[in-house]
Structure 1
């Protein structure tokens, strides 16, 4: 009987993962705006020990407020005891709140506490699509806080409220708004901004010393200052068009500039199209969008007993170059959404960086499909879709036999942090899970 029950629970993986997918795959162009209650039972293993899993994970979005919880109780199959490691410190209780937010990025007032999925500052030349979680097993509680007073404002991001980590702050002013010229079309919205960002994590200054063959932490911290100018040319309910120029400088390293334009078409909820094209020119010892979706893994990764890779080492070795960045998003009927971006440096063949998102939750009544893919240091076209230490992948395809049940298969390629005395080693973590999820939506889409 016990064996039969265990097998049934293994098949019925009724965890919070479906709910988490909806939030984690929430993209910058389509945030979560409705509610869901997801929960159930499952089976999980830690260090070879099986645990029954009881999960409650509601998501609530009403007005400008959004809340997502992720409460898991793991009970030992053999001893019937709750796994103490999940609830042995106050920070564990904070992590049970996946996120709490007010407003959306770009609103006059925006705040988000918890998991940061697409944090960015300004035009994204310093902080862009930053994620504070390398994987579900390495969750952190971070903060985004933005206020726009009309004439001036600020944006901020802090990656981890428990341990010091990535911090970024951008202030901006629209000087003509203080004068009668502020009412002049186009020029009245001229904006000047200044950004500061850094990483206070101790591993942000770590590197492998080839002479002593030890890991040392004595390099200059990656402190970055940036100055930007932005000018909205068209700003209406249907069309948006702006141009901008950014200058960025690492305090003890190199500098770079970027200039580009954003275009947006909003077709009354039927078809939305957005495009961004940017030209980049960098000096020696400079990397663009330093704090991005790979940063938590790139910062410092222990390869073996002492050898390691460090993002700061890559920064110090970077050569003068230029390149192009492009981004495109398409949304059809508020359901099918495609987001893609790509960067390529002119003189560096292995510099391609790709980001893809595809969501089609209700395009077909009974089919659910969701996928996300990121890859760095792409060498050529044949290297685009290889899965290795330069890749992140999430894909789930599901079928709805009835309205509130989703039977699906998940495949995830991510990284698992392994803590050691010398630092953190990130190992590739592959996850394949069959699922049966109960999802009860509420609220208006």
Structure 2
């Protein structure tokens, strides 16, 4: 708890000092996030969905309130469920039990845009997070369960265009010190007007996880391997080679290390004859290009990223990813069997007239197998398509050993899809589909496949 308090205090002090040190906007070019390709709306929004929800194995009816308030760069979003059990009439309160409790009603509190403004901070549910150039933390989600969201923080602070610090903390749960990442960085020529050179960026990332929260799978409690913590570090650098109003191109490189997890229970696990593991620290490196293109304002925007990866035994690139929170022990156990490998990481995100936004990313080892699986994500969002249709969705698939199984829904899949039709300027009807993980009362995660029809009130103000 003391470490959590110190981490929060450090961030808070940095923010308080900013008005005296930050005087102008920083133009960052590295942008690979699906969330960032579309400008944040400057309007406030109120929405409330009335309908049916199946949570776990119980049926509920009620309303979910989702007001979003925006004032300039400041934004706050709420997610407030008011559901009643159809069998006994009791109000649904599980979302506010344990951990951050009622703070879960705040889906996010944010200021600025990451790598676009000198000050960015977001508190709440974290999705698609990356730190630095993503060698260790990339596409990270802090909440595997939609009903029991976690409250974390992500931030990026740059002072006078030269020095900065970015990072994240996964969960303000007082029972343990959870996933923590911090990256101090320097842009030595950032305050100059020298083309290209002024964009040079160098940083050092440190990641630690000492999660001691009580979790269970079907046979035993997990997070045993994290008893003494897991640590990793990386160094990276990047530079923008071309930067114009319609196109920019950046180059970057990184080297990282996943330190050996010193855990008696992990040693016992690897000592078993059937594991055939020779476990130690692992290293990886990569070089890549990142490009952004914008044609005639919001007519068409594109972000593309391609990266070549090399890594040793006992290493997995982007180790802290969208599936990391599901079963950390299982992920760590994979390191003992991970073999020297090469691969490619690529992402592509596009926006058309700010109406259709589509994207995805793929981590693809040259030799896909159980010890070196692939990972993929796709995203889709439309805004008043044909003035009547709203579609939103995302799909993630981890531990992918055969590309033919990319869209086979199983325990390594996470999918959310929403279809809605505008009946009137303020009234929608639609259906939500989820193939997602639900946290049960005993701490176990189980797959929940649910269809939730609703009628929603939605308007800007």
* TM score, norm. by length of structure 1: 0.82
Q: In the aligned structure 2, how far is the partner of 1:198 from the partner of 1:216?
A: 14
**Which range is displaced more, 288-297 or 77-86?**
77-86
Choose which of 336, 345, 356 in structure 2 pairs with 1:316.
336
- Does residue 1:58 correspond to 2:67, yes or no? yes
CA deviations 1:114-160 (Å, max 9, x no partner) are 11112211111111121111021221110112101111101010011
Q: In the aligned structure 2, how far is the partner of 1:63 from the partner of 1:162?
A: 31
Aligned to 2:299: 270
Aligned to 2:208: 198
Choose which of 386, 393, 418 in structure 1 pairs with 2:415.
393
- Give the structure with the higher percent strand: 1
Change in CA separation of 1:325 and 1:225 when aligned onto 2, cut-off 3 Å: same
Aligned to 2:16: none
Q: In the aligned structure 2, how far is the partner of 1:288 from the partner of 1:255?
A: 9
CA deviations 1:60-106 (Å, max 9, x no partner) are 12210111112233456677664565667793221111111111111
Where do 5+ consecutive residues of structure 1 fail to align?
Answer: 1-24, 301-309
1:70-219 matched pairs, under 5 angstroms: 70-75=79-84, 82-83=91-92, 91-106=100-115, 107-149=117-159, 150-163=161-174, 164-177=177-190, 182-202=192-212, 217=224
CA deviations 1:20-74 (Å, max 9, x no partner) are xxxxx97232364232111254455668776553543211122101111122334
Aligned to 1:255: 283
Q: Is the 8 A contact 1:369 1:398 kept in 2?
A: yes
Secondary structure of residue in 1 paired with 2:384: strand
Q: In the aligned structure 2, how far is the partner of 1:197 from the partner of 1:237?
A: 35
Change in CA separation of 1:435 and 1:74 when aligned onto 2, cut-off 3 Å: closer
CA deviations 1:233-263 (Å, max 9, x no partner) are 1223211111011000122210110110101
1:406 Cα offset (Å): 1.5
Q: In the aligned structure 2, how far is the partner of 1:201 from the partner of 1:376?
A: 21
- Does residue 1:69 correspond to 2:78, yes or no? yes
1:389 Cα offset (Å): 0.7
Instruction: Report the number of matched residues.
Output: 400
Aligned to 2:20: none
- Does residue 1:228 correspond to 2:209, yes or no? no
